[in-house]
């Protein structure tokens, strides 16, 4: 996997903090599947990142297993990609410590996510929350990732990862690949169904505002029927129609139809018909994933074996990076 002819390598991880939403799927996870044919992909559940917020241990273990099963159900293929739980590969924590010694306090202080999460969890502003970007840099740099798929909320962290890699390389010579941001060719930005000016998020207090990937068909249809729209009662993509624009984005992402085709399809029809059609299109996309998810969850032994085997592959690659880093900084190694 380390030869000069290899495909470009991509690293990406997702936190196991609740079931992913339709927004997570259409905006990112669907691309994880699509990228497997073009790139050498390394994927992980970012469970070490998740403990910056207090987790209930039993619920947390369940969430990690469910996320792993759900991503396999989406189409992550471990014959093509490496997919593991971050905590199973000790080099992540190991490199995070070394890199935290090459990350400046001022750089971490400027991270907007630290400021946001500190305000949200004011009773638990821990050091891990502050040094989180050093762990994220370690995740990426361990695998000599050429590219990292990034949304707007992670651009700052990737820039810091690049800065850390360059700083280390300047001090010790060529050690890390400096990763580039990767903007996938497809990727819908799915907004909140009740407040379409905001991004869809499972942390929203209103359950009607988001679609979980495990929601039942009835729940999905009901949530779309209650989605906020406008008083025009005309299905068209335009400024000032955030609710309808969002539903058109979702319908387009699920059916492959252009906005023009959607406008023609629903010409002379009301919003009720359109909302139902969007719900049915989402149900059709999620149904086969949900079926596979149930099958995987019925075989916990397979999920555990698969995660372990993939963690061993990840450790084999990342251990080589770690050995190089220790040698560069002069640390003795067992």
Q: Which residues are catalytic?
A: 117, 199, 202
Torsion over CA: 241, 246, 249, 255 (sign): negative
Q: Select from 21, 47, 39 the least CA-distant residue to 76.
A: 39
CA–CA gap between residue 163 and residue 35 (Å, rounded): 26
47 CA to centre of own chain: 12
Lookup: tokens for 88? 């199973």
Lookup: tokens for 233? 């009662």
Strand intervals (E) in 51-186: 82-85, 147-149, 180-182
As a whole number of Å, the end-to-end CA separation of the chain is 25
| Edge-first strand listing for the sheet containing 9-14 | 82-85, 40-45, 9-14, 147-149, 180-182
Q: What is the DSSP string of 276-328?
A: HHHHHHHHHHHHHHHHHHHHHHT-HHHHHHHHHHHHHHHHHHHHHHHHHHHHH
CA–CA gap between residue 81 and residue 332 (Å, rounded): 32
HSE-up of 59 (CA within 13 Å, CB side)? Answer: 8
């Amino acid at each position: 996997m380390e030869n000069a002819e290899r495909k470009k390598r991509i690293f990406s991880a997702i936190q196991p903090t609740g079931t992913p939403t339709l927004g997570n799927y259409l905006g990112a996870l669907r691309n994880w599947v699509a990228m497997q044919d073009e790139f050498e992909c390394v994927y992980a559940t970012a469970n070490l990142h998740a403990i910056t917020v207090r987790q209930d241990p039993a619920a947390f273990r369940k969430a990690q297993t469910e996320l792993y099963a759900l991503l396999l159900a989406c189409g992550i293929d471990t014959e093509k990609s490496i997919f593991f739980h971050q905590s199973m590969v000790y080099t992540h924590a190991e490199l995070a410590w070394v890199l935290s010694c090459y990350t400046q306090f001022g750089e971490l202080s400027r991270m907007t996510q630290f400021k946001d999460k500190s305000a949200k969890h004011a009773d638990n502003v821990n050091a891990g929350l502050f040094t989180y970007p050093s762990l994220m840099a370690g995740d990426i740099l361990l695998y000599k990732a050429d590219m990292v798929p990034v949304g707007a909320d992670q651009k700052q962290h990737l820039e810091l990862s690049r800065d850390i890699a360059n700083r280390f390389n300047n001090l010790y010579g060529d050690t890390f690949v400096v990763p580039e941001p990767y903007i996938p060719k497809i990727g819908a930005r799915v907004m909140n169904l009740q407040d379409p000016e905001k991004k869809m998020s499972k942390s929203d207090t209103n359950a009607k505002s988001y679609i979980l990937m495990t929601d039942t068909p009835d729940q999905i249809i009901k949530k779309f029927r209650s989605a906020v729209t406008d008083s025009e009662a005309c299905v068209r993509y335009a400024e000032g129609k955030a609710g309808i624009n969002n539903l058109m984005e979702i319908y387009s992402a699920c059916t492959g139809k252009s906005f023009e085709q959607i406008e023609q399809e629903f010409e002379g029809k009301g919003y009720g018909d359109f909302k139902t059609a969007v719900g049915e299109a989402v149900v059709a996309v999620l149904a086969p994933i949900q079926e596979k998810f149930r099958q995987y969850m019925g075989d916990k032994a397979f999920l555990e074996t698969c995660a372990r085997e993939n963690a061993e592959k990840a450790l084999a690659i990342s251990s080589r990076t770690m050995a190089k880093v220790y040698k560069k900084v002069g640390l003795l190694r067992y």
